[in-house]
Amino acid sequence: MAHSHDVPTDLTRNQGLVLGALNHSESPLSAYDILDKLRADGLRAPLQVYRALDKLVERGLAHRLESLNAFVACADEHCHRKGLIAFAICEGCGKVDEFADSVIEERLGHWAGAKGFKVERTTMEIRGKCEACVAAA
Amino acid sequence: MAHSHDVPTDLTRNQGLVLGALNHSESPLSAYDILDKLRADGLRAPLQVYRALDKLVERGLAHRLESLNAFVACADEHCHRKGLIAFAICEGCGKVDEFADSVIEERLGHWAGAKGFKVERTTMEIRGKCEACVAAA
DNA sequence: GCGGCAAGTGTAATAACATAACATATCACG
DNA sequence: CGTGATATGTTATGTTATTACACTTGCCGC
Ligand SMILES: [Zn+2]
Ligand SMILES: [Zn+2]
Ligand SMILES: [Zn+2]
Ligand SMILES: [Zn+2]
């Protein structure tokens, strides 16, 4: 099993199924990947997955990776990560490393303050190769 | 006119048309937006646009905004921007501000070095409201 | 000039990602 | 109960991106 999060108990059936699929995956899944994994559980339409994903992302239990059009479960055990989150995505094995960096966050805040830009959401995704994949190359 | 770049002369016809469309737009354009603007010039298929965009992005003359699935012309007059580029995208008016920040770049490099992660490409996109749109709200 | 190759182009078909619209169900709460 | 808010099921559709194949163009060496 990729992760062993304690899944919140107040999720609806579909939300629970979708989060379960993400938690059991080593790498990001597209909405259609998730749908395929959950057909056995009765899901039939993309919208069922997208709706669940919307809620999960809204609650910070999952994240959307814009550069992949795919989703991952939040790596934070207690799902309380605040502020800017960055993702390092390995092109070799597909693994994603989620991290926060307060220096970067502060720096961005500084830029935004100077420009009068009101930040609502930030996407930060690094593509490359993880240590294992570099070694294997 | 939104921009007044000197367009490089060694572009092919389709590349020139696509870059022209981007340069004349105030905000990012999807590939299909571009296609619609260029039908009068004889373009008919998405692939013609995507192929041109690939080359333009490769040369740094245009950038892809992952969180919008859209493209902008590079804002740097001489198209020599190095390293990490960040984009602040206004949800109100659609305008995009392109900037570089060496502190953030260095910080990311530091993280990558510590993790043994080999960075190939970084996406950084801030969504929010620009000063004008905040004032207008 | 001409064969051969690389890069670019044209076109159709299809795949992959995402949402609109509408009907029904479920549950909290007064 | 009645009513509203939230979730669900289903079909159809819209949007973004790629595959496959045929043809053209410019260039280099012969
Ligand atoms: Zn997280
Ligand atoms: Zn890897
Ligand atoms: Zn640029
Ligand atoms: Zn604005």
Q: B7-47: per-residue pLDDT in tens?
A: 666 899 999 999 999 999 999 999 999 999 999 999 999 99
pLDDT score at A7: 66
Which own/partner contact pairs does B13-19 have at CB distance under 8 Å and 24+ positions apart?
B14/B43, B14/B48, B14/B49, B14/B51, B14/B52, B15/B52, B15/B55, B15/B56, B17/B41, B17/B43, B17/B52, B18/B49, B18/B52, B18/B53, B18/B56, B18/B62, B19/B52, B19/B56, B19/B61, B19/B62, B19/B73
Instruction: Determine the CATH number of domain A82-137.
Output: 3.30.1490.190
Look up the protein residue whose alpha carbon has the minimum distance to the C1' of D8.
Answer: A48
Quote the tokens at residue A31. 């909405």
A91: which chain B residues are within 8 Å (Cβ-Cβ)?
120
Residue numbers in A 46-85, CB below 7 Å of strand D: 46-48, 51-52, 55
Cβ proximity of B70 and B30 under 8 Å: yes
Residue in A66, A99, A129 closest to B66 by CB: A66
As a whole number, the mean pLDDT across chain A is 92
Domain ranges of chain A: 1-77, 82-137
Q: At B4, which amino acid appears?
A: S
Q: How confident is the model at residue A137 (pLDDT cuts 50, 70, 90)?
A: confident
In this prediction, residues A105-118 reach a mean pLDDT of 97
Interface residue of A101, A111, A130 to substitute, partner B, most B CBs within 10 Å: A111
CATH entry, A1-77, from 4.10.220.20, 1.10.10.10, 3.40.50.300, 3.40.50.720: 1.10.10.10
Q: One fold for both A1-77 and A82-137?
A: no
Alpha helices in chain A (DSSP H): 13-23, 31-37, 46-58, 102-115, 131-136
Nearest nucleotide to A45, CA against C1' atoms? D10
Q: How confident is the model at residue A78 (pLDDT cuts 50, 70, 90)?
A: low
Between A105 and A78, name the one with better pLDDT.
Answer: A105
A108 Cα to the center of ligand 1, angstroms: 19
On the CB side of A78, CA atoms within 13 Å amount to 2
Look up the protein residue whose alpha carbon has the minimum distance to the C1' of D19.
Answer: B47
Q: Which bases in strand C are touched by protein, i.e. have an atom under 7 Å from a CB?
A: 8-13, 16-21
